[in-house]
C-alpha cells in the first residue's frame, strides 16, 4: 500500500503531470488506483471499448497491433489515452512483458482534471505528437 506522499512523488515523475503542484498531485493520487499485471497479462485488448488511462509505475508492456509489436512502454509511460480522449475501440492490445505495476485513472476524473489544469492537455498533446513522429519515422 502506497502512501499519498509516495504517490505524489510517483505522479511528479510522469510527464503529463510534471508541471502540477503538490496539491493537484495529491488530488490526482486520490483518483487513481494501482493495478498489478503478471507477465503475459493483457491489460488492454485491441477493438474493445474502454475508459481507463494507464501509467506504468514499474515494469514493461508491449503495444501489439494486428499481431505485431509496435512499441514497448516502460516506467513513466502512459497508454490508453486514445480511447479515453475519443471513445473509439482500443487501437491496439497492451500486454505486460514482466511483473508490472500500473496506475489507473478513469475517463471522468481525467477529463475534469484536463478542464481544470491546462498543463495536463498540453502534456497529452506532447505525448501524441511524439508517437505520431515515431510512427512517421518508422514509415520512412
Give residues in contact with ligand CMP (CB under 6 A).
44, 63, 70-71, 79-83, 90-92, 94, 131, 135
Residue (8 or 63) nearer to ligand CMP, CB: 63
60-to-67, 99, 105 alpha-carbon distances in Å: 18, 8, 18
Nearest to 105 by CA among 33, 41, 23: 33
Q: Which residue's CB is nearer to ligand CMP, number 8 or number 57?
A: 57
CB of 8 to ligand CMP, least distance (A): 24
List of residues 6+ apart from 14 with CB closer than 8 A: 55, 76, 78
| Least separation in angstroms between CB 27 and ligand CMP | 23
Nearer to ligand CMP, 90 or 117 (CB): 90
Least separation in angstroms between CB 122 and ligand CMP = 17
Where do we find the cell 493495478?
Answer: 35
Other C-beta atoms lying within 10 Å of the C-beta of residue 114: 17
Which is closer to ligand CMP, CB of 95 or CB of 113?
A: 95
CB of 34 to ligand CMP, least distance (A): 19
Helices (H), the chain: 4-12, 22-31, 81-85, 107-116, 119-139
Amino acid at each position: 500500500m502506497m502512501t499519498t506522499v509516495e504517490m505524489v512523488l510517483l505522479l511528479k515523475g510522469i510527464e503529463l503531470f510534471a508541471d502540477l503542484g503538490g496539491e493537484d498531485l495529491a488530488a490526482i493520487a486520490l483518483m487513481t488506483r494501482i493495478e498489478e499485471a503478471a507477465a503475459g497479462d493483457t491489460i488492454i485488448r485491441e477493438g474493445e471499448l474502454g475508459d481507463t488511462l494507464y501509467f506504468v509505475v514499474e515494469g514493461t508492456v508491449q503495444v501489439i497491433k494486428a499481431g505485431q509489436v509496435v512499441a514497448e512502454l516502460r516506467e513513466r509511460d502512459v497508454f490508453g489515452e486514445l480511447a479515453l480522449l475519443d471513445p473509439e475501440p482500443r487501437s491496439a492490445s497492451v500486454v505486460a512483458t514482466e511483473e508490472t505495476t500500473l496506475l489507473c485513472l478513469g475517463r471522468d476524473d481525467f477529463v475534469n482534471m484536463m478542464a481544470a489544469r491546462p498543463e495536463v492537455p498540453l502534456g497529452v498533446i506532447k505525448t501524441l505528437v511524439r508517437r505520431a513522429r515515431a510512427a512517421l519515422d518508422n514509415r520512412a
